[in-house]
Structure 1
C-alpha cells in the first residue's frame, strides 16, 4: 500500500479537507438578499428557501466524499458574496495566503478568513496589500510547483507580483494568464471561470475566452482539454470541482459538458445551483476553499 501525504498544491487529487461557508451564513435572511443582490451584480434575487435547500444538497454531496468539511461560521460585516469562499484566500503547503479583494464590497472577507485560520492554528504565509488585488478564483495549481494566476479586473499586476514574491523563495513558479475584458469590470470573471483541472493531464476549458499563450501552455504541459460549448459557459459548465482524479462535481444543466467529461473517463456528480451558483456567478470551485488533498509520496 502506497504511503500518502497531504498537499494543498493540487486541484485534482482526492479532496481530504475543505472549507465552505454555508448559505445560511452568507444569505442570512430575505432582507439581506433583497438589499444586496443588485449592488453585487447578481443576475436576480435568490430565493432564500430554495437557496438553503440547494446548499443542503451541495453540502451533502461534499460530506459523502470529503472526510473533513469545515463550515465557516456566521461572521459580521460580510456580503452575500462571502458564499463564494474560495476567493478570499489561497491554500499552500507553507500556510494560507490572504487575498485582497478586487471587488470593494468583499474587502472584509480576507480578515474573516484570517480569524478562522488563526483559531484553528493554521499558519498564515502572507497577505496581499494595497495597491495589490488578488482573488482566489483567479488562481489554480497546474502541478505541485506551478501556480497559474489570471490577470483580471479582480487580480491586478501588483497583487500578482506580491504573490510571486511570497512563492518564489519556496520554489513555486507562477504562470500568468492575461484575461480578456469580456463583460467588463463589474462582471465576475476569473481564471477559474474558464479553467478547471480535473486530473494531472485533463482540464475543462472554455477556449473562446482563454488567452492563446496560456492555452498553448496547457497543451505543452500535456493537458487534454474538455471543451465547453458556447451555450454552457454562462451556466457554469467550465467551473468544475474535482473531488479526486476524474471525479467531478458540477452544476446541473450542462449536458454536453457532462457527456464530454464522461467520455473522457470521468465520474460526474451534479447539483441544482440556480439560486446558489447561477444568480451569483459562482460554481462549485467558488463555493469551496479546498485545503488538503491526498497524494502518494512518490506518485
Structure 2
C-alpha cells in the first residue's frame, strides 16, 4: 500500500524528491550554520539531483514525484489544498515597517491572490521571507529590504521530515531549529496526496526519518542527537506496528575523545548503516560495535516492553542472520552507507572515490582548528586514504559486495552530498512492493 513500508529491500516503486532551488543558495552563504558539511557548487549539485531523478525513472522504473510540482498540480485541481497552501504561505510571510505601509502591502497581496501561480506560494514556504518597508523622500519612493528567516535549505533531504513505517507516515519533529519548519511543508504534501498519517512528534520530542529503517520482521530506530528519548516513546506509541523494534543509541566514535558523539559523523543511523538486501547490510563495524541496542517487543498496539537484552548493533544484526559488508572510517564519512536500496540485492550507490578527497580536506581543517578532538581521526583517515590510492577498492567496488551478490549502480553525487547526505537521504520512499 502506498504510504506504508515493511522492508527496506522490497522493490522501490515510488519516491518523492525536492530539487533544491534558491533556498540552497541561501544555505551556501554559511554552510556550517545551514548544517551543510562543506561548501560546494550549487549548479553542479542541481545537475546531480537531475541525474538521480533520471536514473531512478529510466534505469529502474521508479515513479519519481517532485514535491513542488505534485503540490502545485494538486492545488490547481483541489480548492481545499489550494487554500491550505495559500494560508500556510501567508502565515510565514511577514511585513515590517510603518503600520500604514504594512497594511497597504498586506491589502494589495490579498487583493492579488488569484493572480499568483501556486509556485509563488511554494517559494514563500521555502524562503520564509520578511519584507521591511521604509518610506523615502519623493513620490512612491520606498526602501525595501527582504530577509529570509530560516530558509528551508535542507528540504532536499526528503528522508528526514518523516518516517514511512508499516503503519503509515509518522511526521518528524526536527532536532535543529534550522530544519524545524520542514515537516510543516511535507505534511501538507502527504495530506494532499491522501497518504496515511500514523502520527507526529509533539512537545519535547525530536525524531527524524533518517533514524528509521524497516526490516520486515523488526525495525531499527535511532536514538541520539536527532531523535531523543521522547521521540522514541512517541514513535513506539503510534508510529510503528512491528513486533520488534531495536532502539539504536548513537555511538561514540572511538577515534574522537570525549563523552559526546560528533553529531555530523553519525547523526542518523543511515549515516553509518544501511540495508542492501534481505541477507546483507553495509556499515562501519567500528560504529556498529559501539552502538548500544535496546530491544522492545510489542505487547499490544502502541504498547512496547523493553527486554533485558544488552547488545550492540553489530551483534544484533548478526543474530538476525545478516551478513555485514564492513566500511572503513573514510568510506563511512564519504556517505558510502547512504545508498538507496532499489530492490533485494540492488542498490543505487554513491561514487565514494570522488568524495573522499573533499572529506579528507574538510577533516584537515577541523583537525587544525581542534587537534585534540580530531587529530586521531585524521591520522586514521590519512592511512586509509594512502591505502585506497595505492590499491583502490573504494566502496562500492569491494570484493565483499560481489561475494554477497550485491549489484551496485553508481552515481557521481560529488557536490550535492556536501549538504551531508546521499541518495538515501534525498528520497522519501512512499511505496515498496
**TM-score, normalising length from structure 2?**
0.62
Question: 2:276·2:346 contact (CA, 8 Å) conserved in 1?
Answer: yes
The alignment yields a C-alpha RMSD, in angstroms, of 2.0
- Tell me the residue number matched to 2:415: 275
Equivalent residue in structure 1 for 2:406, among 241, 246, 266: 266
**Corresponding residue for 1:152?**
224
Q: Conserved in 1, the CA contact under 8 Å of 2:154 and 2:419?
A: yes
- Asked whether the 8 Å contact 1:227–1:257 carries over to 2, the reply is no
Tell me the alpha carbon deviations over residues 256-292 of structure 1, each in whole angstroms, 9 at most, x when there is no partner: 3212323321111111112111x12101110111111
For residue 67 of structure 1, what is the aligned residue in structure 2?
Answer: 62
TM-superposed CA distance for 1:89, in Å, is 0.3
Distance (whole Å) between structure 2 residues aligned to residue 274 and residue 198 of structure 1: 21
Q: How far, CA to CA, are the matches of 2:348 and 2:159 in structure 1?
A: 15
SS across alignment from 1:237 = coil
Partner of 1:285: 424
- Report the Cα offset of residue 186 of structure 1: 4.9
Distance in 1 (CA, whole Å) between partners of 2:65 and 2:332 is 29
Q: Which has the higher contact order (CA 8 A, sep 6+)?
A: 1
Output the CA distance in 1 between the equivalents of 2:322 and 2:41.
39
1:203 aligns with 2:197: no
Q: CA deviation at 1:66?
A: 3.7
Q: Kindly indicate whether residue 175 of structure 2 is the aligned counterpart of residue 102 of structure 1.
A: yes
Stretches of structure 1 lacking an aligned partner (at least 5 in a row) = 295-299
Do structure 1's residue 161 and structure 2's residue 155 form an aligned pair? no
Q: Compute the displacement of 1:128 (Å).
A: 0.5
Whole-Å separation in 2 of the counterparts to 1:191 and 1:44? 21
Alignment partner of 1:237 is 2:377: no
More helix by share: 2
Q: Is the 8 A contact 2:352 2:395 kept in 1?
A: no
Q: 2:320 aligns with which of 203, 216, 221?
A: 221
Counterpart of 1:256 in structure 2 is 394
Residue 181 (structure 1) shift: 3.7
- Alpha-carbon deviations, 1:132-175, whole Å to 9, x = none? 111111111122x422111111110110011001146x354321
Q: How does 1:73-84 map to 2 (within 5 A)?
A: 73=68, 74=122, 75-76=125-126, 77=128, 78-84=151-157
Contact 2:285 2:326 in 1 (8 A): yes
Q: Secondary structure at the match of 1:23?
A: coil
- Contact 1:37–1:80, Cα closer than 8 Å, also in 2: no
Could you tell me how far apart the structure 2 residues matched to 1:97 and 1:163 are? 8
